[in-house]
Amino acid sequence: MVRKREIIDEIEDVYRNALEELALIKDADSIENWSRRYLGRKGKINSLFSVFAELSPEEKRQAGARLNEIKNELGNAYEKRKEKSGRKKGDKVSLLFPGKPCEVGYLHPVTIVTRKMTDIFAKMGFGIVTGPEIERDYYNFTALNIPDEHPSKDVWDTFYITEKEKILLRTHTSPVQIRIMEKVKPPLRVVAVGKCFRRDDVDATHSPVFHQMEGLMVDRDIKFSHLKGILTHFITQMFGDNTKVKFTPSFFPFTEPSAEVSMTCNICNGKGCSTCHDTGYIEVLGCGMVHPQVFRNVGYDVSRFTGFAFGMGIERLAIIKFGITDIRYFYQNDLRFIRQFS
Ligand code: DAH
């Protein structure tokens, strides 16, 4: 019994002393020193646990509980005291050392290229618009003069959300053309950027989700030469003044005539390599004069207005611009890849 009293008194003494000492401490180093002496592995509190040997089990339990309580309280007092102390005059801090560098974020290459593209068109007076990623069959296909039997409407190419109401994930940004023309009367000059979706298997050049930019200009007397001028300016701004641009006849249901645009391969400078299949040119986009049926679908007067449209894949442009070898890198969220382009 006597032994128990002694032990309890000893515990309480240590507790009181610890608090008194802590209250008198003035600098950060001494707080740490105090913590080591009382709360450290070989500190006073831990050493008190070992003097319990002569107590009965019940007494051990009581003394142990009290000691644990004290340990917690001293721990809290230590945290509070440390917080309050902050940095005091006399602490050894050199203001001559540089601060810890703070890592800023990086723009994703798709964002970098998108901004560059929209900047170039904005300087030519194009507005920037967006449209829904979940689209109606009418806007994605019908209004663009794409017939029902067109292979791109196949369930193997398009993600359908509902079969009956014909709602789908847009397969290109061209439906934004229709939406904007339904709202705005000519003249108009816009580019639309956004995500598109196709049922492609993932490989080095295909991704079921990707980005496109669409362009549309409508006014009186718009000619193919305007289209050529605008797109040639865009490509040389994007890839350098020495880039040569080539227009080749092609087909799209929503343009007539239609063309594919290629530029000199920036890997071999037009000499011929594996990237351009030895042709010296790589295809970058599709374009053409807006088909009169598309204008009729939105109620534009085809006797007064003409226009051109173009569409391109943003990942594709980024791949060409930065020499990226695999489209999958864009979506793996690997900082070692992403931080290379800012
Ligand atoms: N929508 C086409 C595609 O996804 C790209 C395109 C081609 C858009 C010609 C156009 C255009 O506006 O005139 O492949």
Residues 216 and 333 in one domain: yes
Mean confidence (pLDDT) of the chain = 92
In a domain, 49, yes or no: yes
Residues 144 and 281 in one domain: yes
* DSSP per-residue string spanning 202-238: PSSS--SEEEEEEEEEEETT--HHHHHHHHHHHHHHH
Among the listed residues 181, 139, 217, the one whose alpha carbon sits nearest the alpha carbon of residue 295: 181
- By the 8 A CB rule, do 214 and 172 touch? yes
Residues 232 and 146 in one domain: yes
The C-alpha atoms of residue 236 and residue 120 are separated, in whole angstroms, by: 10
Residues 144 and 41 in one domain: no
The pLDDT value recorded for residue 91 is 64
The pLDDT value recorded for residue 87 is 57
The pLDDT value recorded for residue 88 is 57
Pocket test for ligand 1, best of 174, 197, 227 (most atoms within 8 A of CB): 174
* Cβ(309) – ligand 1 distance below 6 Å: yes
**pLDDT at residue 3 tops 80:** no
In a domain, 134, yes or no: yes
Range of the domain at 164: 109-341
* Cβ(174) – ligand 1 distance below 6 Å: yes
pLDDT-based confidence at 228, cuts 50/70/90? Answer: very high
Residues 124 and 44 in one domain: no
The C-alpha atoms of residue 39 and residue 45 are separated, in whole angstroms, by: 6
Residues 161 and 48 in one domain: no
**pLDDT at residue 58 tops 70:** yes
In a domain, 100, yes or no: no
**pLDDT at residue 243 tops 70:** yes
In a domain, 235, yes or no: yes
The C-alpha atoms of residue 67 and residue 50 are separated, in whole angstroms, by: 11
- 39-52 mean pLDDT: 86
In a domain, 115, yes or no: yes
The pLDDT value recorded for residue 90 is 63
Q: What is the domain count for the chain?
A: 2
Residues 161 and 280 in one domain: yes
The C-alpha atoms of residue 141 and residue 137 are separated, in whole angstroms, by: 6
Please report, for the domain that includes residue 307, its CATH number: 3.30.930.10
The model's pLDDT over 311-340, given as tens digits with 9 standing for 90+, comes to: 999 999 999 999 999 999 999 999 999 999
